[in-house]
Structure 1
Amino acid sequence: MRAIHTFALALGLVCAATGVQARDWAAVKQSGTLIAASEGAYPPFNYFQGSRLTGYEIDVMEAVAKKLGLKLEWRALAFDALIASIRQDRFDVAIASHGYTEERAKSVDFTTPHYCSGGQIVAKAGGPLKATELTGKTLGVQLATTYAEAAKKVSGAKEVKTYPKDTDALQALLGGRVDAWITDRFVAKNALAKNSAEGIKGGDMVFVERVSMIHRKGNNELHEQLNKGLAAIKADGTLKAISEKYFQEDISCTN
């Protein structure tokens, strides 16, 4: 399976999101191409290597499209623009680590989850690693994420600083501008491995979530087909293999 997709210009991905309408399954099937969106700034789930988009979720979407007999056409947008763009019918589906929330479900529909995760505390050695130790501390999180909402609910936190990208929140932690970073546990695992010399450590989980693709509300036949593709790659072991490629473990939901 190809892990990386090549594009003429990364800028073209960011800017080409206009003028495309979300379609029902019949229109997608007739065209032979599924138009999918991701963020491209959330390693190891979706990120750029130069002008190439790669990551766990890129591989998952590629595998689902293959099962459905479709080619893929990618768009890349800021995470906090994805739900609004779906509501504006700019593409068919987004796969960018959206955890299910009742508030988000008012705007978009969620497929069955392609992984389960949760929010984890990350701090420098000597910093707060337990939820009870966050009182009076400054927390860093990515804007418009479930981690931002979880951080705001932490009793006694002095301040919650939001950043456009999760990597920005990590840099704020490394630079001493926040006391702790709350992020996806697998993003934390990746960051700990890549920044071992910085002395950062993983702490408590603050919540658990189920993460899914999202698409326009009421696009029921497309919804069914995406779920069919996900079920197929889980049944034949492809989803597990992709998980193990990036995380050395199966991160799919057990139920």
Structure 2
Amino acid sequence: MKLHALRWAVSIATLAVATSVSADQLADVKAKGTLVCGVMTNLDPFAFTDSNTQQQMGYDIDFCKAVANQLGVKPELKVISFDARIPELSQGRVDLLAAVLGYTEARAKQIDYSDAYFVSIQKMGVRADSGYKVLGDLAEKRVGAVKASSTLGMLQQTLPTAKVISYDDAPAAFMALVQGKVEGFGQSETLLRRWISKATDQKVNVIMPPMGQEAWGLGLRKNEPAFRVAVNDALAKMEASGESAQIFERWLGKDSIFKMDREFKTRPITQ
């Protein structure tokens, strides 16, 4: 009898642990009333600290806040490093990533993605006095990219003979280009043009053709189907209401330094 009771107690304890481990993330987020978003910084216009208010601002920040609003909870921003994005998500320290997260097959093995909320065109920047006119001119040259970025894979496909130098972050890679340590710097055109707008000592040109394009999604933990559906439903509602287009226009549209047109809509990411 005692043995039966002991087995019953162990079974109940095991079930409780299993239930805790497999708890529904959507229910957890709503229960605590906050959505913790892992975000970047120093990546204007996607995420940066406003010098006057010391608050985080940008395209990704607005999407975090808008999704939280759709879910009926408050947003909580957690600034993380580029390399820490997936570990922070996988280990449960953030609920989702709104962190310039381009889709790659390698990343998709580790995390899930929401539908695409941005489409990034990857291009190459070169010094204006370099004489380089098209992407092929950089064959066998030294070119820079950010470590662990999707640009690295595109460079290997479009410029297989180039010597790729990896940098910890975009400012370091762009500075290497300006200083002549590399002949080109590949990145999202949006971010690339942002660095160019800040450069005062050296003019930098963006050359064609593009290296490729990538869809950006919000990073989600695997095996959380209810949460993924809720996030995608939030994005769909934002698209239908025009809120997503308004966020784009605010940060990247005709009144910004980028003067870009929104040539995409929120959609599932397919490869």
Matched, 1:180 2:184: yes
Query: What letter matches 1:31 in structure 2?
Result: K
- 1:163-178 to structure 2, matched below 5 A, reads 163-178=167-182
Q: Secondary structure at the match of 2:92?
A: coil
Most deviating of 106-115 and 71-80: 71-80
- 1:55-66 to structure 2, matched below 5 A, reads 55-66=58-69
Matched, 1:155 2:156: no
Structure with the bigger percentage of strand: 1
Residue deviations 1:141-165 (CA, integer Å, cap 9, x gap): 11110012222332221x2111111
Unaligned runs of 5+ in 1: 1-21
User: Pick from 124, 137, 140: which aligns with 2:141?
Assistant: 137
| Contact persistence 2:238–2:244 (CA under 8 A) | yes
| Contact persistence 1:23–1:92 (CA under 8 A) | no
Scaled by the length of structure 1, the TM-score of the pair is 0.85
Residue deviations 1:54-110 (CA, integer Å, cap 9, x gap): 111111111121122110111111111111222212111011111111111100000
Scaled by the length of structure 2, the TM-score of the pair is 0.80
Q: Secondary structure at the match of 2:45?
A: coil
Q: Tell me which residue corresponds to 1:68.
A: 71
Query: What letter matches 1:155 in structure 2?
Result: P
Q: Tell me which residue corresponds to 1:16.
A: none
Query: What letter matches 1:239 in structure 2?
Result: S
| Contact persistence 1:33–1:72 (CA under 8 A) | yes
Return the offset for 1:191. 2.5
- 1:73-92 to structure 2, matched below 5 A, reads 73-92=76-95
Most deviating of 203-212 and 81-90: 81-90
| Contact persistence 2:41–2:79 (CA under 8 A) | yes
Residue deviations 1:213-242 (CA, integer Å, cap 9, x gap): 011101111111111111111111111111
User: Pick from 227, 233, 239: which aligns with 1:222?
Assistant: 227
Matched, 1:202 2:206: yes
Q: Tell me which residue corresponds to 1:15.
A: none
- 1:44-55 to structure 2, matched below 5 A, reads 44-50=45-51, 51-55=54-58
Aligned pairs, number: 233
Unaligned runs of 5+ in 2: 1-22, 254-259
Return the offset for 1:171. 1.2
State the Cα RMSD in Å: 1.8
Return the offset for 1:41. 2.9
| Contact persistence 1:39–1:47 (CA under 8 A) | yes
* Change in 2 beyond 3 A, CA 1:193/1:180: same
Q: Distance in 2 between matches of 1:74 and 1:201?
A: 34
Q: Secondary structure at the match of 1:60?
A: helix
| Contact persistence 2:24–2:226 (CA under 8 A) | no
Q: Tell me which residue corresponds to 1:189.
A: 193
* Change in 2 beyond 3 A, CA 1:252/1:214: farther
Q: Distance in 2 between matches of 1:85 and 1:252?
A: 32
Residue deviations 1:171-226 (CA, integer Å, cap 9, x gap): 11111111111000111222233336621111121011111101110111111111
User: Percent of counterpart pairs with the same letter?
Assistant: 27
